[in-house]
Amino acid sequence: MSYDKSVSDHYLHGNLLKAIEAALSHQGKSPETVTIDDLASVDEFHIGGRLATDILIDQLNFSEQHHVLDVGCGLGGAARYVASRYNNRVTGIDLTEEYIQTGNALCSWVKLENSVTLEHGSALLMPFQDSVFDGGYMLHVGMNIEDKTSLFKEIQRVLKPGATFAVYDVMRVRDGELSYPVPWAADSTISKLSTPAEYKQALSNAGFEVINETYRREFAMEFFKQLREKTEAAGGPPSLGLHTLMRQSAAAKINNMIANIANGYIAPVEIIASKP
């Protein structure tokens, strides 16, 4: 089995769109009435969810004329949010075909299919021409990609000169044995964590200039604390959430990730860079 297929299979659900539709029906929603806010709990598949997206994108100063690239877009939740809030045209690419098929259906449900395009493919070999995007971002993507210099070279290729690109990934911040499974990997086979220093070096090797770096460990711990309190107060998780994506393994994956962060081994980190 190829490495790409191993990664894609890790995220495969098998019946994701119907699972989302069924969960929404429990909330009194349908494809005709659902909003992007209703979908946020399932399609913002990164630490901090919609709040983390907001914090990151607010730093990038995209204008309404900008065509934005979402690398490793998943279900396209961030892409739909950026298109809706900032009036950008957004193109996303992801390795998991089911995510792309589901994401495009969700775009249609919320009437954003003319603003958001999601394509199936590898971030290491994107089907886009040189210098076509005005800016971009990736949210929790690099944990499955070992050759980050090649990744950033490919991203740099498709961005216009002067474009800003933001990374929000889980990174290795201290040596130590990680607990698995985690949301991006069942074991160490497809877990390709790098340190912030390695990310910055890879960005520099690809021709980017690093502008800013922000550790989000405390943000992550507070987010998980509030999420736990909200879940306990409600007597359990809502019908629609990340457990819809990860099914029975959701609790183990999330608890292990929290433990790894609490132990100081990993942390979500933002890095913002620009193409000269």
CATH of the domain at 177: 3.40.50.150
Assign 128 to helix, strand or coil: coil
pTM as predicted: 0.96
* Domain assignment of residue 195, given as a range: 3-274
Cβ within 8 Å of residue 56, ≥6 positions away:
137, 139, 166, 168, 270
Number of domains comprising the chain:
1
Which tokens hold the place of 69? 């690239």
Backbone φ and ψ for 217, nearest 5 degrees, come out as -60, -50
Residue pair 94/12 in contact (Cβ under 8 Å)? The answer is no
d(CA 51, CA 62): 17
d(CA 272, CA 270): 7
Assign 241 to helix, strand or coil: coil
Q: Which residues of the chain have pLDDT under 70?
A: none
pLDDT in tens, 110-137: 999 999 999 999 999 999 999 999 999 9
d(CA 274, CA 203): 9
Query: What secondary structure letter does DSSP report for 182?
Result: B
Residue pair 145/123 in contact (Cβ under 8 Å)? The answer is yes
d(CA 200, CA 190): 21
Which tokens hold the place of 57? 């994108």
